[in-house]
């Protein structure tokens, strides 16, 4: 049977539109509007790196220019319309999805019990009851509050002291929930004090959770292999994902489609008639130059970004023929449906310091595009809390020179 073909331009535009980056979408970036953004994205990764703005703040700001960090804090800590837990990493997740995380709590608990002892984390199981009792009796606590005279180290997660390990285990397994943060430090409380009863006591069968997770992932990606769909929320196992795709394909719920990659090759994926019909209704892309977080959901799967956009993001990469070396934390830059380059910028006090911008090979930085980039930097200056922008000498690298 002939498979539909989604050309690369259409594939990129569908992917970007579902990630709220294709067109201009007005909104205040707080309250119910931010709830909708989070729901449509599925989650937003939370990360502590803060060279310009924290990753989750930059992700949300790139969709809603009026967004400010307190708006996400409000969703989690006050409105309780979102909760913190894990997908592939720590994330803020719509509260409506909480019942589906029951399966993840159980699976994570089994995984942690199997793996953490082998990782050299002694005595943490002895601390579980004490930590849980401390929070039950005293209220919300951070890792410092539950420390039990243990020697504290700071060389990485593998050096967590036993009570910190116990705290993380109780959170990951669903018995505790993050109730708020101070700075970037998490505070935990009993789940029943944080999660609304309607979501906490809503039981869903495992098979229905698998069906939801796969369907929700497909509707947010537009297309994908069974493994890519499973990786979206990291609830479903790869075997469950393959079985779901086989059954959904046989029943006509999904179909196979060829996706043209940036290099002209084709990749067989799954999609739906509704998503392919959505492609035909897409507007042209916005001409705005957008600064993205390295953890933006359109880029977190580095292999997919390479295949779909021809964009090779590495933490540190040296391309001999282009004579380019990028630093540890650079910001991808999007214009329309194309990733046009990467930026090295950092907040220093009240100044935003722009050190370099490398256009992608073949991208010409004419006056209009350069002005668009500088306008975007002026916009992000407000998010970063900077008063001025300082451009390094020769910050705009000629694409021909690398």
Q: Tell me what the mean pLDDT of segment 33-48 comes to.
A: 96
Kind and range of the H or E element at 386? Answer: none
Crossing angle between the packed helical segments 8-18 and 206-221, to the nearest 10 degrees = 120
CB-CB contact of 189 with 203 (8 Å): no
Per-residue pLDDT tens digits for 334-378: 999 999 999 999 999 999 999 999 999 889 999 999 999 999 999
pLDDT at position 321: 47
Q: Which fold has domain 121-195?
A: Arc Repressor Mutant, subunit A (1.10.10)
Q: What is the mean pLDDT of residues 225-249?
A: 97
pLDDT in the model for residue 236? 95
> What token pair was written down for 65?
């220019």
Q: Residue 209, CB half-sphere, CA atoms under 13 Å: how many?
A: 22
Model confidence at 310: pLDDT above 90: yes
**Can you spell out the DSSP letters for 171-218?**
HHTTSEEEEEEETTEEEEEEHHHHS-HHHHT----HHHHHHHHHHHHH
What share of the chain has pLDDT > 70, as a percent? 91
Residue ranges, CATH 1.10.10.10, the chain: 121-195
* CA-CA-CA-CA torsion sign (189, 192, 196, 202): positive
* Residue range(s) in the chain whose domain bears CATH number 3.40.630: 289-391
- Does domain 289-391 sit in CATH 3.40.630? yes
Against a cut of 0.85, is the pTM above it? Answer: yes
- What are the tens digits of pLDDT across the range 269-296? 999 999 999 999 999 999 999 999 999 9
pLDDT tens-digit series, residues 41-81: 999 999 888 899 999 999 999 999 999 999 999 999 999 99
């Amino acid at each position: 049977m002939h498979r539909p073909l989604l050309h690369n331009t259409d594939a990129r535009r569908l992917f970007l539109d579902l990630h709220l980056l294709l067109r201009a979408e007005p909104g205040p970036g707080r309250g119910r509007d931010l709830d909708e953004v989070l729901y449509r994205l599925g989650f937003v990764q939370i990360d502590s790196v803060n060279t310009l703005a924290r990753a989750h703040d930059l992700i949300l700001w790139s969709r809603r220019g009026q967004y400010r960090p307190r708006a996400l804090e409000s969703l989690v800590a006050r409105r309780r319309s979102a909760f913190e837990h894990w997908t592939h990493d720590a994330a803020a997740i719509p509260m409506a999805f909480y019942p589906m995380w029951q399966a993840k709590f159980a699976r994570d608990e089994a995984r942690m019990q199997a793996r953490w002892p082998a990782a050299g984390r002694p005595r943490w199981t002895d601390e579980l009851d004490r930590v849980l009792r401390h929070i039950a009796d005293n209220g919300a606590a951070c890792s410092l509050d539950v420390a039990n005279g243990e020697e504290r180290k700071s060389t990485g997660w593998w050096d967590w002291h036993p009570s910190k390990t116990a705290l993380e285990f109780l959170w990951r397994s669903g018995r505790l929930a993050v109730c708020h943060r101070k700075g970037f430090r998490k505070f935990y409380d009993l789940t029943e004090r944080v999660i609304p009863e309607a979501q906490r006591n809503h039981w869903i069968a495992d098979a229905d959770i698998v069906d939801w997770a796969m369907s929700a992932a497909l509707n947010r990606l537009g297309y994908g292999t069974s493994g890519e769909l499973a990786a979206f929320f990291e609830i479903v196992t790869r075997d469950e994902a393959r079985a779901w795709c086989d059954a959904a394909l046989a029943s006509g719920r999904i179909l196979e489609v060829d996706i043209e990659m940036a290099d002209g090759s084709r990749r067989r994926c799954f999609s739906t008639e509704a998503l392919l019909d959505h492609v035909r209704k897409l507007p042209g892309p916005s001409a705005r130059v957008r600064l993205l977080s390295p953890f933006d959901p359109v880029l977190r799967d580095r292999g997919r970004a390479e295949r779909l956009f021809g964009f090779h993001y590495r933490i540190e990469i040296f391309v001999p023929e282009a004579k380019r070396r990028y630093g540890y934390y650079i910001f991808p830059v999007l214009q329309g449906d194309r990733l046009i380059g990467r930026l090295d910028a950092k907040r220093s006090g009240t100044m935003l310091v722009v050190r370099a911008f490398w256009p992608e090979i073949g991208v010409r930085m004419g006056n209009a595009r350069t002005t668009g980039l500088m306008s975007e930097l002026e916009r992000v200056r407000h998010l970063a809390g900077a008063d001025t922008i300082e451009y390094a000498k020769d910050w705009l690298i000629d694409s021909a020179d690398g």
